[in-house]
């Protein structure tokens, strides 16, 4: 959140650049995917993979749909207000039509149209470089769903991927193959639309993070050596650097490059320590707060970025400087994430994963021998004992 508020926000909207500091390191989403890869390995072995995948979908999609619709409406109304624009008459023009001047980009604030809403609901943003992301955070969700689906298919259809050596080979493939495809087969400067779709539509630029999660899971269970893990994680950090800062768009002197690489490397070490190290008992007093924040983290993730920029602009117009806006934005993101979790994510997940009702079990043989009136609970002659004293 700090990176999005203090760094990404001012890049998109320069008027928001008066925060007291900037967090330029970009590794939060990659760390999220490492942890996600770890727990894929941890949980996919429990029960049927179909039900496992459905529980993932049931948790992720409902709050995403609500967040997309909410973000679209707020972006549309706020963007037009910031740009001094208006819409035609009628509810359809207000919600889906172009502005009266026909300009979507009048300033740095984009006014989305119905086409953008549909694209984001269908998660097609990564398949065309000209599609608009309503929120920059949304790119992670289709990548995660691709990985979850692939993991479910591999685990359920073949036993080939269940051996330690084979999972290790798969982890290396997730690091090396995307680099080969992007930088050798396609070419990093390839302008063809299909090249963009292959890399970003299929999430090839983030597969290395899931590989790290799988490797850490193997190592934490004594199924991969420490040296092997260190070599693979070093390759993962290199892959992260190349994908995040391709050599045609970033120089080694890029001020965000070194903090991003170092931050990601430190986060990998921390995840390893949490996965296999001793319990961090010194944090036990903070466990309730951590657990609560973890429980609402997905909702916070969905709502904090673009809606946070809008709120920051409103607060700026109200005269609040950056140092005063920052805590308000953090608190607002937490409250919004809690509301989305409480009102949408948990109820929808519970309803969608609720076990189906089954028919009542047939009566046992002794019940069948009871007179009909007694079996129905009414008065009648005492039943005859058929099994002796109990």
Q: Which residues of 91-112 are buried (b: 16+ CB within 10 A; e: fewer)?
A: eeeeebbebeeeebebebbbbb
Give Cα separations from 284 to 276, 290, 291, 297, 334 (angstroms): 17, 10, 11, 19, 22
* CA-based R_g, the chain, Å: 27
Q: Which residues touch 358 (CB under 8 Å, ≥6 apart)? A: none
Q: How confident is the model at residue 282 (pLDDT cuts 50, 70, 90)?
A: confident
Residue 357 has pLDDT above 70, yes or no: no
pLDDT averaged over every residue in the chain: 87
Residue 19 has pLDDT above 60, yes or no: yes
Residue 160: its pLDDT value, please?
Answer: 54
Tens digit of each residue's pLDDT (9 = 90 or more) over 236-249: 999 999 998 876 55
Give just the sign of the alpha carbon dihedral 189, 190, 191, 196: negative
Q: How confident is the model at residue 381 (pLDDT cuts 50, 70, 90)?
A: very low
Q: Mean per-residue pLDDT for 14-28?
A: 92
Tens digit of each residue's pLDDT (9 = 90 or more) over 45-93: 777 888 999 999 999 999 999 999 999 999 999 999 999 999 988 899 9
Residue 263: its pLDDT value, please?
Answer: 94
Q: Mean per-residue pLDDT for 320-347?
A: 97
Residue 230: its pLDDT value, please?
Answer: 97
Residue 376: its pLDDT value, please?
Answer: 45
Torsion of CA 30, 31, 37, 39, to 10 degrees: -150
**Residue boundaries of the structural domains of the chain:** 29-277
Tens digit of each residue's pLDDT (9 = 90 or more) over 150-191: 998 888 765 655 678 888 999 999 999 999 999 999 988 788
Q: Which residues touch 47 (CB under 8 Å, ≥6 apart)? A: none
Residue 187: its pLDDT value, please?
Answer: 86
Residue 390: its pLDDT value, please?
Answer: 36
Other Cβ atoms closer than 10 A to 231? 13
Q: DSSP secondary-structure letter at 122?
A: T
pTM listed for this prediction: 0.85
Q: DSSP secondary-structure letter at 26?
A: -
Residue 106: its pLDDT value, please?
Answer: 85
Residue 362 has pLDDT above 90, yes or no: no
Q: Mean per-residue pLDDT for 295-309?
A: 96
């Amino acid at each position: 959140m700090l990176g999005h508020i203090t760094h990404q926000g001012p890049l998109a909207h320069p008027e928001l650049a008066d925060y007291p500091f900037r967090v330029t390191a970009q590794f939060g989403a990659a760390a999220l995917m490492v942890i996600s890869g770890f727990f894929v390995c941890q949980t996919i072995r429990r029960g049927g993979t179909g039900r496992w995948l459905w529980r993932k979908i049931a948790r992720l999609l409902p709050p995403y749909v609500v967040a997309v619709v909410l973000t679209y409406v707020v972006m549309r109304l706020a963007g037009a207000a910031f740009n001094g624009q208006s819409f035609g008459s009628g509810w359809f023009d207000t919600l889906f039509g172009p502005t009266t001047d026909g300009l979507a980009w009048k300033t740095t604030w984009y006014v989305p149209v119905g086409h953008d809403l549909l694209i984001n609901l269908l998660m097609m943003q990564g398949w065309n470089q000209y599609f608009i992301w309503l929120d920059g955070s949304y790119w992670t969700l289709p990548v995660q769903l691709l990985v979850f689906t692939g993991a479910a298919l591999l685990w359920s259809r073949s036993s080939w991927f269940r051996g330690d050596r084979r999972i290790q080979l798969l982890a290396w493939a997730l690091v090396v193959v995307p680099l080969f495809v992007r930088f050798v087969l396609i070419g990093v400067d390839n302008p063809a639309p299909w090249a963009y779709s292959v890399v970003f539509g299929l999430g090839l630029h983030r597969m290395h993070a899931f590989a790290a999660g799988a490797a850490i899971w193997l190592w934490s269970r004594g199924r991969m050596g420490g040296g092997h893990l260190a070599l693979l994680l070093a390759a993962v950090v290199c892959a992260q650097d190349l994908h995040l800062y391709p050599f045609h768009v970033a120089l080694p002197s890029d001020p965000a490059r070194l903090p991003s690489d170092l931050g990601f490397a430190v986060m990998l070490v921390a995840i390893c320590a949490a996965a296999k190290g001793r319990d961090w008992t010194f944090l036990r007093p903070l466990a309730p707060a951590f657990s609560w924040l973890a429980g609402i983290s997905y909702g916070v993730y969905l709502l904090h970025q673009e809606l946070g920029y809008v709120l920051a602009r409103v607060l700026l117009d109200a005269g609040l400087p950056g140092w005063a806006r920052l805590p308000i934005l953090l608190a607002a993101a937490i409250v919004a994430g809690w509301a989305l979790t409480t009102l949408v994510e948990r109820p929808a997940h519970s309803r969608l994963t609720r076990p189906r009702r089954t028919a009542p079990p047939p009566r046992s043989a002794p019940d069948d021998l009871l007179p009909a009136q007694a079996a129905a609970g009414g008065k009648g002659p005492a039943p005859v004992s058929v099994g002796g004293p109990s």
